[in-house]
Structure 1
Amino acid sequence: MPSTFDKFTWEIFHTIFDYLKTIDLLYAFVKINPYVNTILHSYPRIQLNFKSMKKSTFYFICEHIHPNQIQSLVLSDDEYTPGQIKLFMSLLPLIQFNNLQHISIDQIADGNLLCLMLSHLENNVRIHSLSVNSELIDINIKNARSITDILTTLPSLKYLSFIDSSLLITLRQPLSKVTHLTIYSCLFNDLRIIFRWIPNLRYLKISVPFHDDILTSDHVLPHLSSLIIKSQSSMLFNQLENFLSFTPSLKHLTLETMGEQAMLDGRRWEMLIKTKLPYLTEFALNITPEENDMTADGVLSHFQNSFWTIDKHWQMACLISTMTQTCVQLFSVPQFSPTDSWYPPEEGFINHSLNHYLFHEDCTHLRVSHFPSEILAPLFFKHIRILSLECTTDNIDQIQKIVDLFSVKHLKFGSSVRCRPFNDLLKYAPNIYQLTMDRKTLVQIIDSPPDDQKVYEQIKKLNVEDTILNKDIDQICQIFPKLEHVSLSVKEREDIFPIFNGLHYLTSAIVSWTHPFNTSPSIIDEYLNQNSICTDGTYRFHASSLHVWID
C-alpha cells in the first residue's frame, strides 16, 4: 500500500536530509519502505564523525550506510574509542569511498595501518581535505615515502594537516594544489624543503617542539596570507624579521613563543609591520620572554600609540611577577587572555592591562583556593566550564556568589577536599556531568548522611585520581548508575571486573591495577570476550593498564 512518503520527490527528501545529523537521519528514515530506502541510500552528503561515539551507534551507522554516500569522515583512536580505526577498516574499507572529500584520522598508533588507509585513497579525485594527527605513531622511512607518494596522487588535495615535518620532507613531487597546511610537530629547518614542494600556501599553522633550530627562510611565499606559529623553542627578533620578509601578502599573524627581551618591544613590532607586513589586519602575540627588567607599564606603553589603538585596534596585556614587578608574559587580548584563573587571585603573578581589561570575563576554568570573608567585587565568573575546588566548602552560597553554576560542566576536587553541600551543588549546577576527585573525597560523598540524595544520574564521567578499594566499587555503581566513562585505579586486577559488570551504561573505561604488575594479553582478551565487554578487539592494553571501548 502506498504511503504518504511516496508522494515526495528525491530532491525534497535530500533537502530534508541536509538539516539532520547522520544518526537522526538513519533512525528516522531507515527501513520505512523500499522507496524511502532507495532515496536514503542515494543521498551523497553524509557527514560522519565517530569521535567519542558509543559503539552501538557506530555499528548501527556502519550497517545502514553505503560507502559512496559519505562525503566527510572522522575516525579516532583516542581514550574513548581505542581500536576504532582498525575496526572501521574491517567493516568499510576506504577503497570503496569514491565520494569522500574530507577525512580526519586522529590518534592512530600503527604506521602500517595508516599506510594501508592512505593507499586506499590513492588517485582519489575528490579528496580535498586530509588530516592525520597522532602523538604515538612511529613511521619508518619506507612508509614515510609511500605516504608522501600517495599524497601526490590526490589531484584535488587543498587542505592538509599532518603529523610531522620529517615526513613531508620525503616528498619527491610537488603538492601544487595544497594551499592550507597544518603541521602538528614541525622543525624550523624542515620548512625550507617543505616550501619548495608546497609552493602555493595561503595558510600555514605549525607547532614547533623544543629544539635549537633557527627560524630562517630563503623562499618567498607570495600567496601566504595566514601564519600561525606555536613554538616551544626560543626565538630571536632578527630571525623573525628575516622570515617575515618572505611573506609580503600576510594578513593574519599569530605567534606564541619564548623569546629574547627584544620580542617585548612595541616600537620594533610597529616598524616590522609597517615595513614588511603592510596588509596585516589580524595580529596576536603570546610571548614568554627571557628574564628581564621590563615593567608592565614600560612594555605596554609602546603598544598604546595611534598605530595600535586607532589604526589597528590591537590590544595587549602583561602577566607581572609581583615579586620583581617585571613582565613575564606579553599577550594579545582577547586572543590569549588566560582562560584558567584562581580565586582569590593567586599571589606572585597578576594580569595587567592599561585599558582595564576584564580578564575574568574570559575565564572558563576557575580554581578556588579559599573563600575570603568579603567577596572581591566585581569578580563574578559567568562562563566557567571547569570548577576546581581546592578548599573545603561549607555552603552553596559561597560558590554562587562568585560563579554562575549553570555553565559548569566539570567539577574537580583538590586533594582531600570536603564538599558538604554536594547535593545542593549538583542541584544548582544541573549541567555538571563530569567529576574528578581523590578517594577521600569520593568516600566523603559515599558516606554522606542517609537523608541526602544518594543517586546522581546526571554524572556521566568519573575520574578518581588515586587507588580505590574493592568495597568502593559497589557503592560507585549504586551512586553513579548512569556513568558512561570512568578512569580508575584499583589494587588487584580482579577488581576491574565488578566495574564493568556493575555499570550498565559504560561505553569506555581506563582502568589500571597495581597487582599483578604484568598481565598476559591473552588473559585480558579472554575476559573481555567471555563477558561480552569487548568482543572485537577495540581496546589498548599494556602491563597493568587497560583502555577499552565497550560493546
Structure 2
Amino acid sequence: MSNTMIPWLCLLPVEILHHIFDCLDASTILFSLRCTCRRLKTIVDSYDRYVLDFRSISKSDFQLLCCLINPRKVKSLILFPKDETSDQLELFMTYFRIQEFTRLRSLTLIEIEERQLKVLLKRFCIPSLTSFSFKLGKYDDRRTNTTATLLSSIISQANLHHLNLELRSTRIEKMIWPAQCLIKYLKIGSCDEFSQIFTILRCSPHLQTFVIKFSSYVDDTIISLDSFRTSFQQLTSLTLENLRANVNNLELLLSSMTSLTYLKLIGLGHFLNGNRWEQFIQTNLPCLKKFELFVQEWKDVDYTSVDIEAIIELFRTSFWIEHKKWFFTCETIELWPRVIKLYSIPLCISTLTYEPESNKISSSTFYSIINNDMSIMDNIDTIDFKFSKFTLDDIQQQQQSLHGPLFRRITNLELDYYVQPIPNWASFISILVDLTTVTQIKLTGIRIFQAHPNIITDLSTLLQQACSLTSLDICCNYDSRRSKLTAQDIYSMTPSHVKHLAASIKNLNEVKICLTKLQHLLTARFFYRSSSFSNVVVEWLEQEKAGSSYFVGAVFTKVWLVQSNNQFKLVRIGNKRIKLTVDH
C-alpha cells in the first residue's frame, strides 16, 4: 500500500464535487482547488455553473480570474464598478467578448453609468436570462428614452422571471410593458403613481411577488373606475415601502388583490386604526396569512401614554391575538412626542436608529417584548447608535436585562460620536450587537474627526471583535479639511481582515503611510484638505503599487489595489510551483 495519503476530497464523485463547487466562489475554485492535484484540475475544468461576483475583489485577482474563467461556463454574473473600481467594466470588456456568455442565466449590474448601459445590454445574450437586477449609478438625462427602450426589450423576454430595477421613476414610467409579461417576481426601487401599479399588474398575469418602493412624492389617485372592478388574482405577495398615501386610496388598491397571502406596509400616514384594518382584512383579504406593518403618524400636539394605549387597544381583539396571532407595538419617543410609531412584531424594517428604553413611551400586545425577546429584531440588518441619546443608566439597565445580543443579524453598524461617549460604551455595543455578523461599519462624529485618543483606543478593540468586517468608513461624510486623523490613527483602528477602507485623513502625505501599512486592502478612498503634493503621490503609486487603478485629486484619492502577493499566487501553491493555464 502506498504511504501517500490521498485527500478525501479527491475521492468524491464528480457530481458531489460539483455540488460542493456550487457553494464556493469562483476564486476559491480556480485559485485553490484547481491547483491541488490533476484530478481536481480536470473536475474543475468540467464545471460549468460559475457565479462571478465582482463586488469585492482586488484588481489583481479580478484580472487573474478573467484570464482563467471560460465565459461559456458562467451562469451568474455580478458587475459593480463602484467609485474605487470605476474602470472594472472597461477592463471586463477587454478580457471578454460578452457574446460568449451563452449560458448566462442571471445578470446583476450595480452602479452602472447610464451611458454604459446600451453597450452592455446590446452584447449580452438577453433572451437566455431568467433573472436581471439593475441599479443605475450616474444618470444621463439625454438617455432617458434609450434606457426605457432597452428595459422594455428586456421585460418582453420569454425566459425572464425575476426582475429588480433600482432607478428613477422617470425611467420606469416610460417603459412599455408587454401585454403578456411573464415575470413572476418584480421589485422596483422608485414609483410615484398608483396608476403605474395598475398598469404593471394588468400586463403581468404571472406576477406573484411585487415589491415597490415609492418616491418622496406619491400620486395615490386612482383615475379609472375600471381599476376598482379589476381583480389581480395572480398576486400573492405585496410589499409597499416609503408609502405616503390616503388610507381610502390605499384600500382601493389593496381591494383589487384579494389573493394576497403576504402584505408588508412601511410608510407615513393615517394607518393606526386597528378596527378599520380588522374589518378591511376580513372583507377584502381573506387569504392573508402574514401582515407586517411599520407606520408613523404626525400630529400637531404631543402624544401621551393615554394616546398610545387607545391605539394599541384596538389591536387586542380576538381577531389579532387569537385568530391571526399578529402582534403590535405602539410607541413615541420623548424627544419627538409628536411622532407615533405602530409596528408589527418582529420588526419588519431592515434599518433602525437605536433608542434607549428610557426615552420611549410604549405599549405592546406582545408580552415577550418585556423580556427582551431576541427574535423581534432579527429582520434588522442596519443599526445606528447616536451616543448623544445615551446615559450611564441606560447602559447599566440594558446590560442587566439582556441575556444575549438583542441584535443578532446586523451586517451594517453605524456609530455616531457627536458627543463624548459615556463610560463602557464599547462593551455596551458588544453586548447589544452580535459583532461577528457585522460586515460594514461606518464611524461619524466630531469626536472621531478630532482624533480623540480614548475613542480611537476603544474603537481599535471593538473593531477587532467584528471578525467578518470587510468594509470600514471613517468620517467620510465630514468636511475633510478639518480632519485631524493621522495614518497611525487610521491603521490602528483598521483590522487586518478589512478589505475596503474609506477615511478622512489629515493630509495627502498620510495616504502613502496608510497604504504601506494596510497591505490587506482591496480598495481605498481618502479625503483630505486641499494638497499640492498629488504628483508626489502619483509617482509613489506608480512605483509601489504598480498595476493598481487610481485617481489622485486635490481633495481625495481613490485606489483599486493590486495585491503584492498576487505574483506569488500565480506560481506557488503550498510547496509546489504551478503554472495556471487559461483554457478558453
TM-score using structure 1 length: 0.79
Match of 1:173 in 2: 178
* The one of 279, 295, 299 aligned to 2:311: 299
Q: Aligned pair 1:547/2:552, yes or no?
A: no
Tell me how far 1:332 sits from its aligned partner: 1.1
| Contact 1:51–1:81 (Cα < 8 Å) also in 2 | no
Q: Deviations over 1:182-228 (max 9, x none)?
A: 00111224324333443431111011111141153725322000110
- In 2, the alpha carbon distance for the partners of 1:324 and 1:15 equals 53
Letter in 2 for 1:223: Q
Q: Which range moves more in the overlay, 222-231 or 383-392?
A: 383-392
Query: SS of the residue aligned with 1:141?
Result: helix
Shift of 1:39: 3.3
Unaligned runs of 5+ in 1: 435-457
**Aligned equivalents of 1:401 and 1:275: distance in 2?**
47
Paired residue for 1:194? 200
Where does residue 183 of structure 1 map in the other structure? 188
Offset, 1:37: 3.9
- Give the Cα–Cα distance (whole angstroms) in 1 for the partners of residues 27 and 56 of structure 2: 14
Please state how far the C-alpha of 1:47 moved relative to its aligned partner.
1.9
Q: Show the 5 A alignment for 1:151-230.
A: 151-152=154-155, 154-164=157-167, 165-168=169-172, 169-171=174-176, 173-174=178-179, 176-188=181-193, 189-216=195-222, 218=227, 219-230=230-241
Task: Please give the residue correspondences for 1:389-428 in structure 2 after superposition, counting only pairs within 5 Å.
Answer: 391-392=420-421, 394=423, 399=428, 403=432, 407=436, 409=438, 410=441, 412=443, 414-416=445-447, 420=454
Partner of 2:34: 30
| Alpha-carbon contact 2:392-2:423 (below 8 Å) kept | no
Residue in 2 that maps onto 1:515: 530
Shift in CA distance, 215/393, structure 1 to aligned 2, threshold 3 Å: same
Q: 1:478 to 1:292 in 2, by over 3 A?
A: closer
1:360 CA displacement: 7.8
CA–CA distance in structure 2, aligned partners of residues 46 and 93 of structure 1: 17
What is the rounded CA distance, in whole Å, between the counterparts of 1:338 and 1:50 in structure 2?
Answer: 24
Paired residue for 2:321, among 309, 329, 334?
309
CA deviations 1:298-333 (Å, max 9, x no partner) are 111111111111111111111224479776111111
CA contact (8 A) 1:95 1:120 kept: yes
Q: Within 5 Å, give how 1:264-275 maps onto structure 2.
A: 264-275=272-283
Q: How does 1:15-54 map to 2 (within 5 A)?
A: 15-31=19-35, 36-54=40-58
Structure 1 residue 70 displacement after superposition: 1.2
TM-score (norm 2): 0.75
Shift of 1:397: 9.6
Task: Give distance in 1, aligned partners of 2:294 and 2:544.
Answer: 50
Provide the C-alpha distance between the structure 2 equivalents of 1:88 and 1:324, rounded to a whole number of angstroms.
50
Q: Secondary structure at the match of 2:310?
A: helix
Structure 1 299/541 Cα, relative in aligned 2: closer, same or farther at 3 Å? farther
Please state how far the C-alpha of 1:420 moved relative to its aligned partner.
4.5
Please name the residue that 1:472 is paired with. 486
Matches of residues 371-450 of structure 1 in structure 2 within 5 Å? 371-372=392-393, 375-376=396-397, 378-380=400-402, 382-384=405-407, 386=413, 388=415, 391-392=420-421, 394=423, 399=428, 403=432, 407=436, 409=438, 410=441, 412=443, 414-416=445-447, 420=454, 430-432=464-466
Alignment check: 8 A CA contact 1:432 1:459 kept: no
Does the C-alpha gap of structure 1 residues 394 and 306 become closer, same or farther in structure 2, counting only changes over 3 Å?
A: closer
Indicate conservation of the 8 Å contact 1:344/1:371, yes or no: no
Counterpart-to-counterpart distance in 1, 2:106 and 2:486 = 46
Structure having the larger proportion of residues in helix: 2
Instruction: Pick 1 or 2: higher relative contact order, CA cutoff 8 A, min separation 6.
Output: 2
Question: How many residues matched?
Answer: 517
Letter in 1 for 2:331: L
- Contact 1:513–1:544 (CA<8 Å) still a contact in 2? yes
Name the SS for the 1:304 alignment partner. coil
Structure 1 distance, partners of 2:455, 2:10, is: 57
Residue number in structure 1 paired with 2:577 = none
Residue 77 of structure 2 aligns to a residue whose secondary structure is strand
Partner amino acid for 1:158? H
Tell whether the 8 Å contact from 2:259 to 2:285 is kept in structure 1 after alignment.
yes
The equivalent residue for 2:123 is 120
Aligned identity (percent) is 21
Aligned pairs for 1:125-164 (under 5 A) are: 125=128, 127-138=129-140, 140-152=143-155, 154-164=157-167
8 Å CA contact 2:179, 2:204 repeated in 1: yes
Q: Say whether the 8 Å CA contact 1:383–1:407 is kept in structure 2.
A: no
Structure 1 residue 282: Cα displacement: 0.8
Residue of structure 2 in register with 1:454 after alignment:
none
Distance 2:545 2:119 in 1: 28
Distance in 1, matches of 2:239 and 2:427, equals 41
Does the 8 Å CA contact 2:240/2:266 hold for their aligned counterparts?
A: yes
Question: Is the CA contact (8 Å cut-off) linking 2:130 and 2:159 kept in structure 1?
Answer: yes
Aligned mates of 1:111, 1:256 — CA distance in 2? 30
SS state of the match for residue 332, structure 1?
A: strand
Query: Would you say the 8 A contact 1:433–1:460 is kept in 2?
Result: no
Q: Give the match's secondary structure for 1:204.
A: strand
- Judged with a 3 Å threshold, the aligned counterparts in structure 2 of structure 1 residues 235 and 406 are, in CA distance, closer, same or farther, namely closer
Map 1:249-288 onto structure 2 (within 5 A): 249-260=259-270, 263-288=271-296
SS of structure 2 residue aligned to 1:300: helix
Indicate if the aligned counterparts of 1:393 and 1:421 stay in contact, CA closer than 8 A: no
Q: How far did 1:264 drift?
A: 0.9
User: Structure 1 CA distance, aligned partners of 2:36 and 2:474?
Assistant: 42
Tell me, in whole angstroms, the C-alpha distance in 1 between the residues paired with 2:103 and 2:231: 36
Q: CA 1:333/1:83 → structure 2, altered by over 3 Å: closer, same or farther?
A: farther
SS at match of 2:447: coil
Instruction: Measure, in 2, the Cα distance between the counterparts of 1:400 and 1:496.
Output: 30
Q: Distance in 2 between matches of 1:401 and 1:98?
A: 48
After superposition, what is the alpha-carbon deviation per residue over 1:147-189, rounded to whole angstroms, capped at 9, x for unaligned? 1343156321000011344434422634521111100111224
Distance 1:401 1:320 in 2: 26
CA distance in 1, matches of 2:530, 2:461: 39
Gap change, CA 1:398 and 1:10, over 3 Å in 2: closer
Q: Is the 8 A contact 2:34 2:44 kept in 1?
A: yes
The alpha carbon displacement at 1:98 in A equals: 1.1
Give yes or no for contact 1:106–1:134 (8 Å, CA) kept in 2: yes
Give the partner amino acid of 1:379.
S
